Every structure is written in C-alpha cells, then in structure tokens.
C-alpha cells in the first residue's frame, strides 16, 4: 500500500497553469480507508480574475465540499464524468475533496455505481451527521480529519467484487499494453460479459471506456513533453490510425492534440 499520494497530473489540462493560479495538494486518508480511497485533494485560491480549469475525469467517484466567494459550503457526490469537466473559480474559496479508487465507492454507496455516472448529487443532512460543522475551514490536517470521520461513519462494507474491480482498473491504468477488452478478459480468464457487468456495477463505466480514458490521459500527458509524432502515439495507444486518436482526443479534451500542445507552448509562465 502506498505511503504517499500520487504526484502525476493525469487528467488535468495545462497543470502548470493550475498550479500558478491555486494551491493544490493531495493527502492520503487514514490507513483504514485506503483500500477504497485514492487520496484527498485540497484546493485554495484568491483570484483577481476568474480562472477556468478543465479536467478529463478519471473513472472514479468524488465527494466534494466547496466554499467559494463567501457562499455557504455545499457538498456533493460526483459520479464518473463521461466528458470534459470545466469549472470556473472566482474570488476566494476552498475545495476539499475525496477521490475514491475506481470501484472504491461501491462499498459506501451499496448500489450499482452506474447510477451516479454523469451525475452530481447534493449530500443531504443525514450523510453529514458525522461531521461537526463545515469541512473546508481549518488547516489541512483538520480538513482531512473531518473527511476521515465522515467516511468512517458511512461504515463501508468490504466487498470482494469491489476489490476485484479496483485491482483490474489499476492494472489497466498502470499497464499501457492493455488496449482491448477481449484480450484483457482472456488474460484474467473471465468473460468479456462478466467484466462489463463488474465494471458497470462497481466502477460506473465499462472496461472499454476505462481503457480508452486512461490511454487518452496518457496522450494528454505526453503532449506536455513537446512535439510528438502523433501517428506513433496513436499506434502505441492501440488506435487504428492517427485520425481515430485525433477524433477521440478532441471529443474528450475539446481541442485537437496539436492545438492542445500549441496552447501549452504559448501559455505564459509568470
């Protein structure tokens, strides 16, 4: 089990610009929660002008608490986002969030996670009974303690199928040779149909979606390295040709790979 949060920027479009505009950090939860929770993420900002951030979501559920520009804090459950997520930050504010491991929210939700895909559901008062007051105020340690208390009070029920789904998604994330559902199912001696049901129930999206999303996040991450041979990248990521990669990249990120790479080069570094 990891002893520090991941430090990659996968899924964050123009991560350098984000870090110039806000304070962003990740923290691990209490060890008892780590089978289900990837990390906590905390953002604070005080902006003279509105800032727009775009994120290509992971196949993960988030629980998010936000207090912005003097408004009362609100909390919500954010299911896996199928498309590009765009948020505009204004004035001063804070976000305190939980990113669950793919499959990790099922033991808390206790229903098919596909019910949440593409949705954002406000947290009702009974869900927050374990948290005495708002989550966002306080220092980082206090914010994380409040999240620990909240998630522990939800009393997640260990689920072997959820653990299996989490392990399979982690393998897809880490092993870039995983390109096709049928091959991946054969590797694990399970049927593609069972894999589909397992992922929809515990992750919220199908295995093909997960494979494509992680491979596209790799393409986005590679774009920060400078000029690329996109036909080679397409082949490496399992696409039939460059045109298919460009189409998927544009659909998810909102711009073509070449346009995204140019925007990073043109971005100011002050």
Query: What are 147-177's pLDDT values in tens digits?
Result: 999 999 999 989 999 999 999 999 999 998 8
Q: What angle do CA 120, 41, 268 make, to 5 degrees?
A: 100
Closest CA to 227 of 251, 250, 260: 260
Which of 195, 156, 182 lies closest to 37, judged by CA? 156
pLDDT at residue 81, rounded to an integer:
93
The tokens 């491991």 sit on which residue? 101
Dihedral-angle region of residue 134 (phi above 0 means left; psi in -120 to 50 means alpha; beta otherwise):
beta
d(CA 200, CA 198): 6
- Burial 24-34, CB ≥16 within 10 A → b, else e: beebbbeeebb
Residue-level pLDDT at 131: 63
pLDDT at residue 6 in the model: 84
Structure-token match 């953002």, residue found = 43
What pLDDT was estimated at residue 241? 85
**Ranges under pLDDT 70 in the chain:** 1-2, 125-133, 226, 265-270
SS3 27: strand
Q: Which domains does the chain have, with CATH numbers?
A: 15-153 (2.60.40), 160-266 (1.10.10.60)
Instruction: Read off the pTM.
Output: 0.90
pLDDT on residue 199: 98
Specify the 3-state DSSP secondary structure of 200: helix
Please tell me whether residue 163 adopts helix, strand or coil conformation.
Answer: helix
Q: How far is CA 62 from the centre of its chain?
A: 7
Instruction: List pLDDT tens digits, range 217-241.
Output: 988 888 777 677 888 888 888 888 8
Burial of 205 (0-12, 13-18, 19+ CB in 10 A): buried
């Amino acid at each position: 089990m990891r002893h520090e949060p991941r430090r990659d920027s996968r899924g964050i479009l123009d991560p350098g610009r984000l870090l110039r505009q806000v304070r962003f950090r990740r923290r691990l939860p209490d060890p008892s929660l780590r089978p289900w929770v990837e990390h906590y993420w905390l953002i604070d900002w005080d902006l003279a002008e509105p800032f727009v951030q775009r994120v290509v979501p992971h196949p993960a559920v988030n629980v998010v608490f936000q207090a912005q520009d003097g408004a009362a804090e609100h909390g919500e459950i954010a299911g896996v986002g199928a498309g590009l997520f765009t948020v505009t930050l204004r004035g001063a504010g804070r976000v305190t969030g939980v990113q669950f491991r793919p499959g990790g929210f099922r033991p808390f939700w206790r229903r098919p996670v596909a019910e949440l895909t593409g949705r954002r559901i406000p947290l009702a008062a009974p869900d927050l009974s374990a948290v005495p007051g708002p989550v966002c105020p306080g220092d980082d340690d206090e914010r994380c303690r409040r999240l620990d208390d909240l998630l522990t009070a939800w009393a997640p029920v260990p689920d072997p199928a959820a653990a299996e789904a989490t392990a399979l998604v982690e393998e897809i994330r880490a092993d870039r040779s995983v390109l096709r559902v049928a091959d991946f199912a054969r590797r694990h001696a399970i049927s593609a149909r069972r894999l589909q049901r397992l992922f929809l129930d515990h992750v919220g999206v199908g295995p093909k979606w997960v494979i494509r999303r992680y491979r596209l996040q790799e393409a986005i991450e590679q774009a920060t390295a400078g000029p690329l041979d996109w036909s080679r990248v397409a082949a490496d990521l399992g696409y039939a040709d460059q045109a298919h990669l460009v189409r998927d990249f544009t659909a998810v990120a909102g711009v073509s790979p070449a346009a995204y790479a140019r925007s990073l080069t043109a971005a100011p570094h002050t």
